[in-house]
C-alpha cells in the first residue's frame, strides 16, 4: 500500500495536522541544519517558518520574524563547521495540540573544536527543541542546549574540574 504524503509546505495551509505531520516538519527542520540550510527536497530552512514565527537560542535570545530568525541562524551557524543530529535516538513528545518536543543529541565541529554528546559526559551535544507547528509552518521553536559546543567554559563550574 502506498502512503500519501503531505508536502512539507502545503497549499492547504489551514488544514488540521496530525502529530506525525508535525513531527515530519520538525525533522525536516533538523535535517536542514545537517544539509547546510536546505531540506532534503531543497527547500530553504527559513521557508519552514511562519512570517511572524519566534525562535529562541541560548546566549542569542529571542528572534521575532523571519528576518531576525535568519540573522540568528547566520550568527549561530557561522560558528559551526558541521553538525550531525542523531535521528535514531530522538525522543518525541506530543501534546495533542500544536506542540511537539524533540529531545536528542548531535555531534559536529565548532570553530573552537569538535563536540559529541557524552564525550565528555558533561559536554555539549544534547538538546531539547520545543516546537509549535500549525498550518504547515513552524510558528515557534525554542531551543534548549549548551551553546558552549567545544566545552571551553569550564572555569566557572567547579564540579567539572573535580
Is residue 84 assigned to a domain?
yes
Question: Residue 12: inside a domain, yes or no?
Answer: no
Neighbours of 146 (CB within 10 A): 16
C-alpha cell recorded at residue 111:
570553530
The whole-model pTM stands at 0.88
pLDDT digits (tens, 9 = 90+) for 9-30: 544 556 789 999 999 999 999 9
Is residue 30 situated within a structural domain? no
* Number of domains the chain contains: 1
- Could you tell me the three cell numbers for 51? 512570517
As given in the structure block, the three cell numbers for residue 142 are: 525554542
- Per the structure, the complete domain to which residue 130 belongs is given by 50-140
List pLDDT tens digits, range 63-94: 999 999 999 999 999 999 999 999 999 999 99
Q: What is the pLDDT of residues 118-161, one digit of tens each?
A: 998 888 999 999 999 999 999 999 999 999 988 888 888 888 87
E strand intervals along 46-145: 49-57, 61-64, 80-85, 91-94, 99-110, 113-116, 126-134, 137-145
What average pLDDT score do residues 32-58 get? 96
CATH number at residue 124: 3.10.450.50
How far is Cα of residue 82 from the mean position of the Cα atoms in its chain? 14
Amino acid at each position: 500500500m502506498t502512503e500519501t504524503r503531505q508536502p512539507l509546505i502545503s497549499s492547504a495551509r489551514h488544514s488540521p495536522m496530525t502529530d506525525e505531520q508535525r513531527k515530519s516538519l520538525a525533522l525536516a527542520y533538523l535535517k536542514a541544519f545537517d544539509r547546510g540550510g536546505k531540506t532534503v527536497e531543497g527547500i530553504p530552512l527559513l521557508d519552514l517558518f511562519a512570517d511572524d514565527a519566534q525562535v529562541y537560542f541560548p546566549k542569542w535570545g529571542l528572534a521575532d520574524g523571519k528576518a531576525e530568525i535568519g540573522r540568528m541562524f547566520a550568527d549561530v551557524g557561522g560558528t559551526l563547521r558541521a553538525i550531525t543530529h542523531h535521528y535514531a535516538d530522538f525522543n518525541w513528545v506530543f501534546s495533542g495540540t500544536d506542540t511537539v518536543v524533540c529531545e536528542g543529541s548531535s555531534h559536529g565541529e565548532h570553530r573552537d573544536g569538535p563536540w559529541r554528546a557524552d564525550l565528555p559526559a558533561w559536554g555539549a551535544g544534547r538538546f531539547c527543541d520545543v516546537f509549535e507547528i500549525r498550518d504547515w509552518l513552524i510558528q515557534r521553536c525554542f531551543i534548549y542546549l549548551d551553546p558552549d559546543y567545544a566545552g571551553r567554559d569550564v572555569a566557572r563550574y567547579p564540579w567539572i574540574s573535580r
